[in-house]
């Protein structure tokens, strides 16, 4: 009996810490109609509606515009505020890794080179604290992509308020991802080799390996097989148009080789990821109907003779040429960078792009590239009520203050580890003032 009082404080502290660190409980299905009144609505297709009313029921937008006669349910006064469709991140590893230094929390890649049967969806952690921290900036949907190998695996599209991956999924196995070989490579500096770029002697051989694999997979799909080949099965959607091929390539030669290869082998839809030199060959991209997921704009040029502002203006250069462009928070800290997605779009505005056109790169354009534009990406009647209310311009870090957010009509929590710490230390300094 004397042991219990000694352990009781430890138990209480443990329960408190579990409560503090717990994932926010996903919101319940929308039961009652909700009306947002008086907001400036940024539709996501380039248009803006002032003093707008938005009504949504059962997770769908039922009215938008000057529809005061259709006001119903809970009324939210958003006068002077802004409403946006939920921002969409493409080519992300959110939910696949939590702490890089803790191997057990990292599930970004698997062993092997041609592993399209590796599905990111079943590894997606809906309770990730990193995922949770996206929502206060309006990032509500993402394409979750595995890394590693030549053909890295199969991605899926999820929403960021769910109990598990089954609840989170919006589109299952939407695309296959390929890391195209580099025609030039740097020496292995850790073994004393030069850091300078030199021709990759194995470039053609590496391409042939991809070619053999996909040709064999195509042949596999044409005949009845007694034994299953999971890798070949995983890519059949590329040849039917059900799946897109996302190709990671940056150099001009690599981009041309990769897209030409994909079209010749019978792959119907191709998306270029990164595309550092894509602005040089926009006519080629348009002829082949290739969309581009550009890298993050808040970065420095790769080569010393590039324009100093090339990463800043790259998306505008592509969009001005008629290319469908979305933005991607690539880089070493990609998962953390994702919360800055709206500000990458804001960076493009600083390069002269119209604000609503820049907004499309993280809303409607991203939805089109991912094939979810029938339900997401814009504020339109019949589409999902996945949207948020901001106190000001959501593309500006100073005014992106999200007060309410909804996914499929469900009002989600905007609390996160960051907001908890902010409140904690705000109270500390307030107490010190007293």
Which residue in this structure is represented by tokens 């380039």? 46
pLDDT of residue 303: 86
More confident residue, 294 or 427: 294
Domains and CATH numbers, the chain: 29-86+378-414 (2.30.40.10), 88-376 (3.20.20.140)
d(CA 284, CA 289): 9
Question: Comparing 136-150, 197-211, 328-342, which segment has the lowest mean pLDDT?
Answer: 328-342
Token duo for residue 434? 């007293």
Distance CA 293, CA 304 (A): 23
- CA–CA distances in Å: residue 359 to residues 39, 147, 193, 198, 406: 17, 27, 44, 39, 18
Of 104-108, 304-308, 396-400, highest mean pLDDT: 396-400
* Average per-residue pLDDT for the chain: 90
Q: For the purposes of burial, counting CB atoms within 10 Å of the CB of 55, is it exposed (0-12), middle (13-18) or buried (19 or more)?
A: buried
Written as one string, the DSSP assignment of 60-91 is EEEEEES-GGG--SEEEE-TT-EEEEPEEEEE
Question: Where are the alpha helices (H) located in 22-164, listed in sequence order?
Answer: 129-132
Contact 325, 315 (CB under 8 A): yes
pTM over 0.85: yes
Query: 29-78: per-residue pLDDT in tens?
Result: 999 999 999 999 999 999 999 999 999 999 999 999 987 767 889 999 99
Q: What is the pLDDT of residues 336-352, one digit of tens each?
A: 889 999 999 999 999 99
pLDDT of residue 16: 45
pLDDT at 196 over 90: no
For residue 17, pLDDT beyond 50:
no
Give the range among 19-33, 172-186, 247-261, 410-424 with minimum mean pLDDT.
Answer: 19-33
Residue pLDDT, tens place only, 243-275 = 999 999 999 999 999 999 999 999 999 999 999
Q: For residue 272, give both structure tokens.
A: 């270029």
Task: State pLDDT tens for residues 343-392.
Answer: 999 999 999 999 999 999 999 999 999 999 999 999 999 999 999 999 99
Q: What is the pLDDT of residue 174?
A: 96
Which band of pLDDT confidence, cut at 50, 70 and 90, is reported for residue 9? low
Residue 404: Cβ within 10 Å count: 17
C-alpha distances out from residue 177 to 162, 197, 245, Å: 25, 25, 6
- The pLDDT of residue 313: 95
Q: In this predicted model, which residue has the larger pLDDT, 245 or 97?
A: 245
Asked whether the predicted pLDDT for residue 142 surpasses 60, the reply is yes
């Amino acid at each position: 009996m004397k042991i219990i009082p000694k352990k009781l404080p430890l138990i209480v502290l443990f329960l408190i810490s579990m409560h503090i660190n717990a994932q926010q409980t996903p919101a319940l299905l929308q039961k009652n109609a909700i009306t947002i009144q008086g907001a400036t609505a940024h539709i996501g297709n380039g248009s803006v509606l002032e003093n707008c009313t938005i009504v949504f029921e059962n997770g769908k937008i039922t009215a938008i515009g000057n529809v005061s006669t259709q006001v119903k349910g809970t009324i939210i006064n958003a006068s002077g505020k802004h409403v946006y469709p939920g921002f969409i991140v493409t080519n992300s590893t959110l939910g696949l890794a939590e702490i890089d230094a803790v191997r057990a929390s990292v599930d970004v890649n698997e062993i092997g080179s041609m592993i399209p049967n590796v599905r990111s969806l079943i590894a997606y952690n809906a309770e990730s604290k990193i995922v949770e921290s996206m929502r206060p900036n309006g990032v509500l949907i993402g394409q979750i992509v595995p890394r590693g190998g030549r053909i890295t695996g199969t991605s899926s599209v999820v929403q960021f308020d769910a109990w598990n991956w089954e609840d989170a999924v919006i589109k299952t196995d939407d695309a296959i991802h390929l890391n195209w070989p580099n025609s030039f490579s740097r020496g292995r500096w850790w073994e004393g080799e030069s850091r300078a770029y030199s021709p990759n002697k194995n470039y053609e051989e590496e391409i042939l390996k991809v070619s053999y694999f996909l040709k064999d997979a195509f042949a596999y799909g044409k005949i009845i097989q007694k034994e299953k080949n999971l890798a070949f099965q995983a890519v059949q959607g590329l040849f039917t148009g059900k799946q897109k091929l996302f190709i990671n390539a940056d150099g001009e030669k690599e981009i041309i080789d990769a897209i030409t290869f994909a079209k010749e082998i019978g792959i119907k839809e191709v998306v270029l990821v990164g595309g550092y030199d894509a602005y040089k060959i926009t006519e080629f991209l348009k002829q082949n109907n290739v969309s581009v997921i550009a890298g993050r704009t808040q970065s420095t040029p790769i080569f010393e003779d590039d324009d100093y502002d090339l990463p800043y203006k790259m998306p505008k250069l592509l969009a001005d040429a008629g290319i469908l462009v979305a933005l991607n928070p690539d880089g070493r800290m990609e998962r953390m960078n994702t919360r800055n997605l709206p500000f990458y779009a804001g960076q493009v505005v600083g390069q002269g792009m119209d604000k609503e056109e820049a907004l499309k790169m993280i809303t409607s354009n991203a939805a089109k590239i991912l094939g979810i534009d029938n339900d997401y990406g814009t504020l339109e009647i019949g589409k999902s009520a996945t949207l948020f209310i901001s106190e000001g311009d959501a593309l500006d870090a100073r005014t992106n203050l999200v007060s309410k957010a909804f996914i499929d009509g469900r009002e989600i929590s905007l609390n996160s580890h960051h907001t908890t710490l902010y409140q904690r230390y705000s109270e500390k300094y307030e107490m010190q003032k007293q």
